[in-house]
């Protein structure tokens, strides 16, 4: 039976779903809870899967870029105007609506890449063994609705 850990973050994030038939086609926001689940068969020399701080370090910049940002489909007629007005706080999803499902996959893929690129240094001595596996990323849209992605 593998050991698992989960590290959770909260961000404020908006989106517009241009393909949605109802009110979600308008800009609106959510307090998103994002869960990162990792597992390994055996604990390291510190009796951990990995340090929770490692998850924070690898995803801090990415999640900060999504906090108080608006996610939009690049095909939305308003995308160029919103991006011109608000710059990097408008995040484009190429020809896709930024549903919570799509966001979960983007966050998962980013997390896997960040872990693959992670190198401990004197400022961040947290070890990451190659046997640690990302199980899933779960993104909560509301207190009763979430989407998750796993490979």
Q: pTM surpassing 0.85? A: yes
Res 69: pLDDT: 98
Residue 131: partners with Cβ closer than 8 Å, 6 or more residues away: 40, 41, 42
9-44 tens-digit pLDDT: 999 999 999 999 999 999 999 999 999 999 999 999
Beta strand ranges found along the chain (DSSP E): 3-15, 28-40, 69-73, 90-93, 133-142, 145-149
Positive/negative CA dihedral, 120, 124, 127, 133: negative
Residue 21: how many other CB atoms lie within 10 Å: 7
All structural domains of the chain, each given as residue ranges with its CATH number in brackets, are: 3-68+100-149 (3.30.479.10)
Res 4: pLDDT: 98
Res 124: pLDDT: 73
84-127 tens-digit pLDDT: 999 999 999 999 999 999 999 999 999 999 999 998 877 778 88
């Amino acid at each position: 039976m593998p050991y698992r850990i989960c590290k959770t973050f909260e961000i404020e994030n908006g989106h517009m779903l241009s393909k949605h038939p109802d009110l979600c086609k308008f800009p609106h926001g959510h307090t998103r809870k994002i869960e990162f689940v990792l597992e390994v068969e055996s604990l390291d020399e510190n009796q951990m899967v990995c340090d929770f701080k490692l998850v924070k370090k690898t995803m801090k910049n990415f999640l900060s870029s999504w906090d108080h940002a608006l996610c939009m489909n690049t095909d939305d007629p308003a995308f160029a105007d919103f991006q011109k007005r608000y710059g990097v706080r408008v995040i484009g999803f190429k020809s896709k609506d930024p549903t919570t499902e799509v966001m979960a996959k983007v966050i998962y893929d980013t997390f896997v890449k960040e872990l693959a690129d992670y190198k401990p240094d004197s400022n961040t001595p947290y070890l990451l063994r190659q046997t640690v596996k990302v199980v899933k990323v779960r993104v909560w849209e509301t207190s009763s609705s979430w989407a998750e992605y796993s490979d």
